[in-house]
Amino acid sequence: MLLRRPHRLRLLSSTTTNRSPFPLTVPLSHPTYIIWSSNTSLGKTLVSTGISTSFLLSPSSSNPKKLLYLKPLQTGFPSDSDSRFLFQKLSSLSLRRKLPLFSSHSVLLSSLPAAKSFKPNDFSLNVSHEMCELGFYEDRKALEDGNVAPELVSETLYAWEGALSPHLAAEREGALVGDSELVKKVERRLKTDYWKMVLRGEIGWFLCGGDCRGRLGGISGTISAYESLKLRGYDVVAIVIEDHGLANEIPLMSYLRTRVPVFVLPPIPQDPSNDLMEWFDESSNVFNSLKDIMLEAYLERIRRLNEMPRRAGDVFWWPFTQHKLVPPSNVTVIDSRCGENFSVYKVRNKEYITQQFDACASWWTQGPDATLQTELARDMGYAAARFGHVMFPENVYEPALECAELLLDGVGKGWATRVYFSDNDSPTESCHELMVLALKGSYHGDTLGAMEAQAPSSYTGFLQQPWYTGRGLFLDPPTVFMHNGKWILSLPEVFHSGTPEPEDITFRSRDEIFLKSRDSSNLAGLYSSYISQQLSQYSTLSGTKLIGALIIEPGKKYISLILLFDIIFLLMLVNECQQCKIPVIFDEVFTGFWRLGVEAAAELLGCVPDIACFAKLMTGGIIPLAATLATDAVFNSFTGDSKLKALLHGHSYSAHAMGCTAAAQSIKWFKDPITNLNITSKNSQKILLRELWDAELVQWISLHPSVSRMLREDDIYCRPLGNVIYVMSGPCTSPEFCTQQLLKLHTKLEEFTQVKPNMEII
């Protein structure tokens, strides 16, 4: 976790096991806690020793118990060693209390300077990577039988000599450790059948908050530490402080109210010759209570996790779900999300938490990776504290203004002059015209009004939408898709008479579809005349009905399938409408903000709309917010002396400060090469997102015969639609991660085909 990649440094130190950017599977069969403190030398080791004593050396308890004390990173070694301190104190207390204990102590790896201090005469030290294999082990057996496993395992993974922050000590001693190596070592230990305590750890999900020994500043330091842990998604189960006669627990408890109990330890003797035995005896009541609370919180958590599927089935009404088809065993228990991954609770023989790639990007909303999620969390706290929500009309506040300016300078650049905010992602707020021109199979959101702009389908039938009438002229669009590894253009029947050339309907690569030369092909002419013929036919036959606007998604079509429209058709459609003065609306709710490799998909089309709607990724997917951008002409058509000419519609949360804060940050992050390593700019003019999904792998998978819901059972969370699997990452996701997911996907499809070759496709 050391200074190799400073951008990632805080990532590891800020994530819990189940929230690590590395794929981790951690069993929950025993409690795992981190002991944290608000500063150094504040007694974390003493507290760990006290809890261990309560657990292992309490006369009342009879069951065999096992405890692992893990110090992942020790600096100041060998003069300082927390794992040795704990091992020695427990041994002494075992003798003092006449309770036998089989305990072991080991130090795995260290820097060369630390190793030389520790074993000055050993010149055979084995340097593995940049660390020495120290392999130190000692134990104290309580039984003759050497085959019994130790009841206490106290272990240091990595040690350095300098009494400095680990990142500094590692750098100075030329002994760096990689993130993934450390995580793997810790993960292996978390899988053992022991209670675990990790000291000031980088890893874990339950926490025992730090003690505070400082006099002045002890209260605020503890509160700040607590808040920093909360801002990283940690749960804190208890706080321990030392008694200095200052009654610091009173303001702490007032701040924490009933959320977290505060324990007060007797003053710690400052005389270095004091062996602390009496202090441990005096403190045993506190440590016993602390241990009980840790056990209780663990059991409560497991109970809750186990009950969640049943309780969810009892009280939730999930959207898009036939509840009769969802038994409790199909319910996914999501313990947290970290960047692109869910952490999911499962029971398969044992309880455990494992990571699942959220391939749906939670309904296409998710953008930030793990690092940016943490930053966004802090900004959400800030925006809530500074603004909460403030109402919008005739008001201005920084997040709304910054967000509007970023939108006009980004996705609206060159055409939009106004931003209208709403609080969800159905984009028809500005679609206030009589009939719409739209494409068959399109889907523009799920409010009753937005559904009217959708051609008839099984989602608009009487059972689903008894009010639906479908107020539009719906055209049949040509689509492109990959099949058997080739890109193919599928033309609706109406174009079949035009007999397009073979080179018009197959493409060697995806890039060919977007070639500028296609704009003037025969096919483009065919499209154009079909569209103008449809428009003039409608105006003749429809009586009083008028087309008020064209609404299209500039890039994909979705309703139970995902396909790409032929971009040339869209371009011809926009041209025709703009010639007829029909306002053009781009629904960029899905396509906006880099989903198609450019900030606004309009860039791909090479034309601009009059109105465009954005949502989902705009806030980094953290909370709902939508924005509709409009040209001056559209805006001015609502300007007048009468209030009744204005757009008198809006939402309670129009331009809410938290949404605008999230949007302002996400819009900036996604296009900043510092925060998004996938951003490239060949020349200073054009910013592009590199391809994240390996084309060959995608092709390989597209050839696979099997698609299944079973994917959700494993480490990819997918919602296949018909025979289409869609897999989505954020704009900042690394291509390596994407490749891993594609490989996993293929493996799962393979496995599944072997197990259930005849499964029904849902």
Rule CB under 8 A: choose which of 59, 317, 499, 517 binds a second copy: 317
Rule CB under 8 A: choose which of 184, 323, 686, 690 binds a second copy: 323
Which structure tokens are listed for 56? 């292992």
Q: Is 116 in the site for a second copy (CB under 8 A)?
A: no
Q: What b-and-e string marks burial along 683-698, b requiring 16 or more CB atoms within 10 Å of the CB?
A: eeeebebeebbeeebb
Stretch that binds a second copy, among 140-148, 414-422, 569-577, 752-760 (CB under 8 A): 414-422
Rule CB under 8 A: choose which of 99, 277, 326, 562 binds a second copy: 326
- Rounded to a whole number of angstroms, the minimum distance from the CB of residue 334 to a second copy is 4
Total length of the chain: 762
Stretch that binds a second copy, among 305-313, 520-528, 567-575, 591-599 (CB under 8 A): 305-313
The DSSP bridge pattern shows strands 235-242 and 262-265 to be parallel
Q: Is 651 in the site for a second copy (CB under 8 A)?
A: yes
Q: Is 761 in the site for a second copy (CB under 8 A)?
A: no
Please tell me the distance from the alpha carbon of residue 378 to that of residue 380, in angstroms, as a whole number.
5
Q: Are 221 and 66 in contact (CB under 8 A)?
A: no
Q: Is 376 in the site for a second copy (CB under 8 A)?
A: yes
Residues 377-396 that bind a second copy (CB under 8 A): 377-382, 384-396
The burial of 613, by beta-carbon neighbours within 10 Å (0-12 exposed, 13-18 middle, 19 or more buried), is given as: buried
- Rounded to a whole number of angstroms, the minimum distance from the CB of residue 361 to a second copy is 9
Q: Considering only CA atoms, which of 605, 680, 656 is closest in space to residue 414?
A: 605
Q: Are 224 and 207 in contact (CB under 8 A)?
A: no
CA distances from 527 to 491, 497, 540, 554, 567 (A): 10, 12, 20, 16, 11
- Rounded to a whole number of angstroms, the minimum distance from the CB of residue 745 to a second copy is 18
Please tell me the distance from the alpha carbon of residue 540 to that of residue 643, in angstroms, as a whole number.
35
Q: Is 119 in the site for a second copy (CB under 8 A)?
A: no
Stretch that binds a second copy, among 55-63, 419-427, 570-578, 681-689 (CB under 8 A): 419-427
| DSSP per-residue string spanning 85-137 | HHHHHHHHHHHHTT----EEEEEEEE-HHHHHHHSTT----EEETTEEEEEEE
Rule CB under 8 A: choose which of 59, 120, 188, 324 binds a second copy: 324
- Rounded to a whole number of angstroms, the minimum distance from the CB of residue 674 to a second copy is 7
- Rounded to a whole number of angstroms, the minimum distance from the CB of residue 458 to a second copy is 6
Residues 424-443 that bind a second copy (CB under 8 A): 424-426, 428, 432-434
- Rounded to a whole number of angstroms, the minimum distance from the CB of residue 356 to a second copy is 11
Rule CB under 8 A: choose which of 126, 321, 533, 542 binds a second copy: 321
Q: Is 303 in the site for a second copy (CB under 8 A)?
A: no
Residues 16-35 that bind a second copy (CB under 8 A): 19
- Rounded to a whole number of angstroms, the minimum distance from the CB of residue 423 to a second copy is 4
What would the x/- binding string for a second copy be over residues 68 to 87, using CB under 8 A?
-------x------------
- Rounded to a whole number of angstroms, the minimum distance from the CB of residue 440 to a second copy is 19
- Measured between alpha carbons, how far apart are the two ends of the chain, in Å? 44
Residues 547-586 that bind a second copy (CB under 8 A): 548
Residues 154-213 that bind a second copy (CB under 8 A): 163-165, 167-168
- Rounded to a whole number of angstroms, the minimum distance from the CB of residue 567 to a second copy is 25
Q: Is 467 in the site for a second copy (CB under 8 A)?
A: yes
Stretch that binds a second copy, among 65-73, 463-471, 676-684, 749-757 (CB under 8 A): 463-471
Residues 470-509 that bind a second copy (CB under 8 A): 471
**Residue 561: left (phi > 0), alpha (psi -120 to 50), or beta?**
beta
Q: Output 19 or 189, the one with its CB closest to a second copy.
A: 19
Stretch that binds a second copy, among 262-270, 302-310, 681-689, 745-753 (CB under 8 A): 302-310
Peptide bond into 368 cis (omega under 30): no
- Rounded to a whole number of angstroms, the minimum distance from the CB of residue 76 to a second copy is 9
Give the torsion through C-alpha atoms of 578, 583, 589, 594, to 10 deg.
30
Q: Output 284 or 424, the one with its CB closest to a second copy.
A: 424
Rule CB under 8 A: choose which of 192, 289, 362, 532 binds a second copy: 362
Q: Is 261 in the site for a second copy (CB under 8 A)?
A: no
The DSSP bridge pattern shows strands 562-565 and 262-265 to be unpaired
Q: Output 433 or 751, the one with its CB closest to a second copy.
A: 433
| DSSP per-residue string spanning 17-84 | GGG-SS--EEE-SS-EEEE--SSTTSSHHHHHHHHHHHHHS-TT--S---EEEEEEEE-STTT--HHH
Q: Considering only CA atoms, which of 403, 387, 391 is closest in space to residue 619?
A: 403
Please tell me the distance from the alpha carbon of residue 108 to that of residue 154, in angstroms, as a whole number.
11
Which structure tokens are listed for 715? 């480490």
What are the two backbone dihedrals, phi and then psi, of residue 418, each rounded to the nearest 5 degrees? -135, 150
Please tell me the distance from the alpha carbon of residue 625 to that of residue 619, in angstroms, as a whole number.
7
